[in-house]
Amino acid sequence: MALEQQIMDQMKEAMKSKNEPALRALRAIKAEIIKAKTEPGAGGVLPEDKEVALLQRMVKQRRDAHEIFAQQARADLAQKEQEEIDVIATFLPQQLSEEELKTELRAIIAQVGATSPADMGKVMGVASKQLAGRAEGKAISAAVKELLAAHP
């Protein structure tokens, strides 16, 4: 409920300041929250971990769209997607730097006893849960591959 209230408060501010890009992104977040809360089995409640996953999915969708628009030389549409990414990202937890990510992954690799690239599945299962919201799956996967390939 805290995220939904934050969104509502910021929507009011965006309306007052006539900040169209922020308002567009905030409305999209609100719509996704309502959709998630009304899904069968949700019970009208959206736990914090689901909120983070929802926001991450929204950022990923917009990054993919931004990439496509940039390839098609549609700077106007790419700009809109980037503006929405910037607004949505403010609600996500602080992302790990590359070095922090590798440090956490080294600990996970030691924890699960991974010794070769064949153990990537074990590491990814634990890492995805522990680092949820703090790092993208693509970044986690790339770092795990690199660390396991260099693992003695």
Walk me through the domains of the chain, giving residue ranges and CATH numbers.
3-90 (1.10.1510.10), 98-150 (1.10.10.410)
Q: Give residue 120's pLDDT.
A: 84
pLDDT at 138 over 90: no
φ/ψ (deg, to 5) at 151: -65, 135
Write down the H helix ranges in 18-47: 20-37
Buried b (16+ CB within 10 A) or exposed e, 68-89: ebeeeeeeeebebbbbbbebbe
Write down the H helix ranges in 18-119: 20-37, 48-71, 75-89, 98-112
Question: Average of pLDDT values for 13-25?
Answer: 93
Q: How far apart are the C-alpha atoms of 21 and 42, rounded to whole Å?
A: 30
pLDDT at 1 over 80: no
Q: Give residue 152's pLDDT.
A: 55
Predicted confidence (pLDDT) per residue in 81-135, tens digit: 999 999 998 888 788 888 888 888 888 888 888 788 888 888 888 888 888 778 8
93 φ/ψ sector (left φ>0, alpha ψ -120 to 50, else beta): beta
**pLDDT band at residue 151 using 50, 70 and 90 as cut-offs:** low
Q: Give residue 75's pLDDT.
A: 92
* Residues 56 and 136 sit within 8 Å (Cβ to Cβ): yes
pLDDT at 51 over 90: no
**pLDDT band at residue 13 using 50, 70 and 90 as cut-offs:** very high
**pLDDT band at residue 140 using 50, 70 and 90 as cut-offs:** confident
Whole-number Cα distances in Å, 125 to 4, 92, 95, 116, 144? 30, 21, 19, 15, 11
Q: Give residue 86's pLDDT.
A: 92
Q: Give residue 68's pLDDT.
A: 95
